[in-house]
Structure 1
Amino acid sequence: MSAQRLPPLPTIKEIIRLYKLRARKQLSQNFLLDLNLTRKIVRAAGSLEGHHVCEVGPGPGGITRAILESGIADLRVIEKDVRFMPGLQLLNDVSGGKMRIFNGDILRFNMDDLFPTEATQAWDDSPPKIHIIGNLPFNVSTPLIINWLEAMSERTSAWKYGRVKLTLTFQKEVAERMVAPILNRQRCRLSVMCQYLCYVQHKFTIPGTSFVPPPDVDVGIVKFVPLKQPKIALPFRLVEKVVRHVFHFRQKMCKRGIATLFPPDQPALTREMLSTADVSPDTRPFMLDIAEIDRLCHVYKDICDRHPGLIDYNYRSAENALDWRRAKLPLNI
C-alpha cells in the first residue's frame, strides 16, 4: 500500500464555509488549514505505511487528509463536536471507507478495543503498527497526556497493544517543558513524568498565526515513544505524587516540597527520605536527575510501607491531617 493523494475535494476553507463551521472558544478549537503543515505533522510521526492510526480531535479534517494520504491501513477519528461529522463522512466516502468515526470526549473515551488484536506486539518487541495523532485542544492536552502516561505505565487502553507511539500538538511552552533536560529552568513535573516513561522529541514549532483563529501562543509538535523499561519501576500514582510534591516549590530547595509529603509534626521523615536517597536537601528540583528522583520514590514507598495510611496523607486537606493525628500511627523515628 503506497501513499497517494485523495481525489479532488473541497478545500478545508470551503468545508468550513459549506457547513458553517466556526471555532468554539470554550472548546479551545483552532483550525490548521495549510495542507503543507498538516502533511509535515504526519511526516513527523514517521512512516505510517500499513499502520492503524487514531486521530484525536480531527475537526474539519486537515490532518485527517494528510493521514489518509500516507499509506495507512485504516483510520479511527474521535471527535467531540458533532458539527464536524458531515465533513469527516465526506472524507470517509472518498477514502473508500478507510475511516471509523467516533463521536466522544477523548478524556473519557475507551480505547481498549479500538485496534485489531492482530496488530498487538509484545512490550519488549518493536512498537506495533499503531499510531495516535492529534491536534489537541489546549484545555485538555496536559490532563490527557497524564491519563495516557498512566495507561502506558499500566499497559492498558491503547497500550495493551504494545508500545504505541503518539504524535501530538501542545502549546510551545508545554512542549518545551516535556523535553526539558536536567538543569534547564523549564524542567518541571511534566518533564519527569514524560521522560521516565518515554523517549520524547519536540519535532518542530508551528507559529500560532498559522491557525484559524490564531491562538496567542505558538504550537509544538511532540512525538512520544514508550520505553521498554520505565526509568522508575514503581506504580504511576506513587511516582506522580512524589514528583508533584518535589516540584511544588520549583525554584526553592527540594526539601521544601518533599516536606509536604509528611505531616508537619514529622520533620524527621523528610530528613530520612533525603538522607536515605542520598539527595542534598538544598538541591533545586530542576537540578534533580531521573536516578535521584527514582531513589526518592523508592525511599518514599519504603516509608509508606512502614507506616500504613501515610500514602493517603494530603497536606492540603485539614480533615486528612486531623485524621492522621487522631490515628496516632506509630512512627519508628
Structure 2
Amino acid sequence: MSQIDDLPPLRDVIETHGLRAKKSLGQNFLLDLNLTARIARVGGSLTGAQVLEVGPGPGGLTRGLLAEGAAKVLAIEKDARCLPALAEIAAAYPGQLTVMNADALTVDTGAHLAAPWRVVANLPYNVGTELLVRWLTPASWPPPWESLTLMFQKEVAERITAAPGSKAYGRLAVLAQWRCDTRIALTLPPEAFSPPPKVHSAVVHLTALPAPRFDAEADVLERVVAKGFNQRRKMLRAALKGVVPDLEDRLLSAGIAPTERAEQVSLEQWCALARAVAS
C-alpha cells in the first residue's frame, strides 16, 4: 500500500498507541490510506476547505482530508486514547488540524469553523443517525454546512437514499431528500475495517440545496412524517389519527388516499400534507 504522507502506516499507529477499537464507542477503524483519500475526494476538491470530522480514531480519514488540501480540519474525538496519534498528525500539518476531546453532540461547530464548511466522517455507529438528523434539521435553511460525506452501515445509507415504495423508504429518506441531493458514493466490505464489522458499509454524499424542494414548515413535516412511519404497516388514516380532527379531508386535499401507507407517499405529497395540517 502506498502512503499519502510521511507518517507511519495506520497498523503501526494503532499498535504503537494500543488503540484497540471499542465496541461501546461504535469504533471500526479504516486502515487503507488510499481509501481514506478516496473518501475525502467524494465531494470534490478540498483545496482551501474547512472540514468537520467526527470520530477520527487513529486519524486515517483525517490524514486523507489534509493530504487532499483541506485548509482546516476540526476533528472531534470522544476517546482520549486517540489523542496522541492525532497530535502526531497535527504536528505534521502545522495549523491545519484542531482536535477536540469531546462528544460531537455537544459541540458548537460554528464557533470553530467558518461557514460554509463540509462534514466528512466515518461516523461511530452508535451516534451516526442522530448526528445526521441534527444536521438535516437546523433552525434555519440553508445550513452552515454545504455537504455531508458520511460513512454508515449500508442499510442506513440505503434508507437515506431510498425511493417511495421501497422497504428502505422512511423518515430518513424524507428528511434528507427534502433539503438535499443524496447519493451512495461507494460501498465498502467489512475487511476494510479493523475490527471488521458484521455488515457492509457505504459512503453517502449529501449536498445541501439552497431551499427545500417543496414548501412546508419543518417542524410540522418532521412530526407528521415521524408519526406516519412509526406505524408504517397501518393505513395513514389510522397511523396519523389525532394529528388533526378532519384528517381524512386533509389527506385528500394533499392528494393522498386515506388508505395509503406511509411508504407509498412521495416527498411532494408529504410536504403537501404538512401544509394542509399547518393550515
TM-score by length of 2: 0.93
Larger Rg: 1
What whole-Å deviation, never above 9, does each CA across 1:57-111 have from its counterpart, x for those lacking one?
A: 1000010111111022122111111111111010011112311111111111111
State the match for 1:245 in structure 2. Answer: 227
State the match for 2:252 in structure 1. Answer: 275
State the match for 1:75 in structure 2. Answer: 73
1:81–1:103 Cα contact (<8 Å) kept = yes
CA positional deviation for 1:270 = 1.9
The separation in 2 between residues aligned to 1:298 and 1:146, in whole angstroms, is: 21
Q: Which amino acid aligns with 1:254?
A: L
The separation in 1 between residues aligned to 2:220 and 2:130, in whole angstroms, is: 17
1:100 to 98, 101, 106: 98
State the match for 2:53 in structure 1. Answer: 55
State the match for 1:111 in structure 2. Answer: 109
Structure 2 residue matching 1:247: 3-state secondary structure: helix
2:13 to 12, 15, 21: 15
CA positional deviation for 1:43 = 1.7
The separation in 2 between residues aligned to 1:199 and 1:111, in whole angstroms, is: 22
**Pair 1:188 & 2:170 matched:** yes
What whole-Å deviation, never above 9, does each CA across 1:191-234 have from its counterpart, x for those lacking one?
A: 10110011111111111222111111111101111111112433
The separation in 1 between residues aligned to 2:129 and 2:58, in whole angstroms, is: 23
The separation in 2 between residues aligned to 1:225 and 1:114, in whole angstroms, is: 21
The separation in 2 between residues aligned to 1:285 and 1:66, in whole angstroms, is: 40
Cα RMSD after superposing both structures:
1.8
**Pair 1:154 & 2:140 matched:** yes
1:247–1:254 Cα contact (<8 Å) kept = no
2:217–2:274 Cα contact (<8 Å) kept = no
1:211 to 185, 189, 193: 193
Query: Pairwise mapping of residues 222-237 of structure 1 onto structure 2 (< 5 A)?
Result: 222-237=204-219
2:32 to 31, 34, 39: 34
Q: Which amino acid aligns with 1:291?
A: E
Q: Which amino acid aligns with 1:105?
A: D
State the match for 1:307 in structure 2. Answer: none
What whole-Å deviation, never above 9, does each CA across 1:129-188 have from its counterpart, x for those lacking one?
A: x3111100111011111111111x6148xx34xx52110111101100111112222111
State the match for 2:156 in structure 1. Answer: 174
- For structure 1, which runs of at least 5 residues remain unmatched after alignment? 121-127, 303-333
The separation in 1 between residues aligned to 2:111 and 2:215, in whole angstroms, is: 27
The separation in 2 between residues aligned to 1:136 and 1:230, in whole angstroms, is: 25
2:55–2:75 Cα contact (<8 Å) kept = yes
2:141–2:211 Cα contact (<8 Å) kept = no
The separation in 1 between residues aligned to 2:82 and 2:95, in whole angstroms, is: 17
Moved more, 234-243 or 87-96: 234-243
Structure 1 residue matching 2:149: 3-state secondary structure: strand
- For structure 2, which runs of at least 5 residues remain unmatched after alignment? none
The separation in 2 between residues aligned to 1:250 and 1:212, in whole angstroms, is: 36
Between Structure 1 and Structure 2, how many residues are aligned? 277
2:126 to 139, 149, 154: 139
CA positional deviation for 1:254 = 2.2
2:183–2:205 Cα contact (<8 Å) kept = yes
What whole-Å deviation, never above 9, does each CA across 1:270-298 have from its counterpart, x for those lacking one?
A: 22221222311122222211221111101
The separation in 2 between residues aligned to 1:181 and 1:260, in whole angstroms, is: 27
1:57–1:80 Cα contact (<8 Å) kept = yes
Structure 1 residue matching 2:158: 3-state secondary structure: helix
Q: Which amino acid aligns with 1:49?
A: T
The separation in 1 between residues aligned to 2:30 and 2:4, in whole angstroms, is: 19
1:245–1:260 Cα contact (<8 Å) kept = no
Structure 2 residue matching 1:187: 3-state secondary structure: coil
CA positional deviation for 1:114 = 1.9
1:203–1:221 Cα contact (<8 Å) kept = yes
State the match for 1:296 in structure 2. Answer: 273
The separation in 1 between residues aligned to 2:240 and 2:24, in whole angstroms, is: 36
CA positional deviation for 1:260 = 4.7
1:31–1:60 Cα contact (<8 Å) kept = yes
Structure 1 residue matching 2:111: 3-state secondary structure: coil
